[in-house]
Amino acid sequence: MKKSVTGKLSAVGLGAIIGMTSLFAAQAQAEEQYLPSLVYRTGPFAPSGVGFADGFADYVRLINERDGGINGVRIRMEECETAYANDRGVECYERLKDRGNGATVVAPLSTGITYALIPRAKDDNIIVHSMGYGRADAADGRVMDWVFMVPTTYWS
């Protein structure tokens, strides 16, 4: 039961991340859209992180292979292992943000990493997708215009 709920939430989150990325990909008219993927296959939350990381990578591969990307724009994803540690998450963000044609969205998958990235991402014009974690007030775009809480917040 727990696995199927986690899988469904992951699928919704993945769709939201890819959907947000597609908006910017179409605007950029790029041949590919770069998507940094901050994952945690190790560390204290590895049991939930492994499934999400693998599912996200599989979904991106599916979109590229089956559909040729989003509106003809292929997604190039690069993972960085955070081990659910804030300092490693910030290091991953800094290392990956400017690769390719630059990141337009990042999903930290951690409340602590999200808090650490909010001011950096705003300065870098990179959207933070915070799916069910991070600052609940980010659900109101008037409060935080670079952080999106899709599909839910802690309090939903």
Q: Is residue 85 part of a domain?
A: yes
pLDDT digits (tens, 9 = 90+) for 103-131: 989 999 999 999 999 999 999 999 999 98
pLDDT digits (tens, 9 = 90+) for 19-70: 655 555 444 456 899 999 999 999 999 999 999 999 999 999 999 999 999 9
155 in a structural domain: no
- Residue 125 belongs to what domain range? 2-148
Average pLDDT, stretch 83-104?
94
**Residue 67 domain-assigned?**
yes
Q: Is residue 154 part of a domain?
A: no
The answer to whether residue 76 sits within a structural domain is yes
Q: Residue 156: inside a domain, yes or no?
A: no
What's the domain count of the chain? 1
pLDDT band at residue 3 under the 50/70/90 scheme: low
Contact yes or no for 82/40 (Cβ under 8 A): yes
The domain that contains 95 carries what CATH number? 3.40.50.2300
Q: Give the global pTM.
A: 0.77
- Considering the domain boundaries, does residue 74 fall inside one? yes
The answer to whether position 66 is within a domain reads: yes
Q: Rounded to an integer, what is the distance from CA 79 to the centroid of its chain?
A: 11
Residue 145: count other Cβ atoms within 10 Å of its Cβ. 11
From residue 30, alpha-carbon distances to 21, 22, 104, 107, 149 in Å are 12, 11, 12, 21, 26
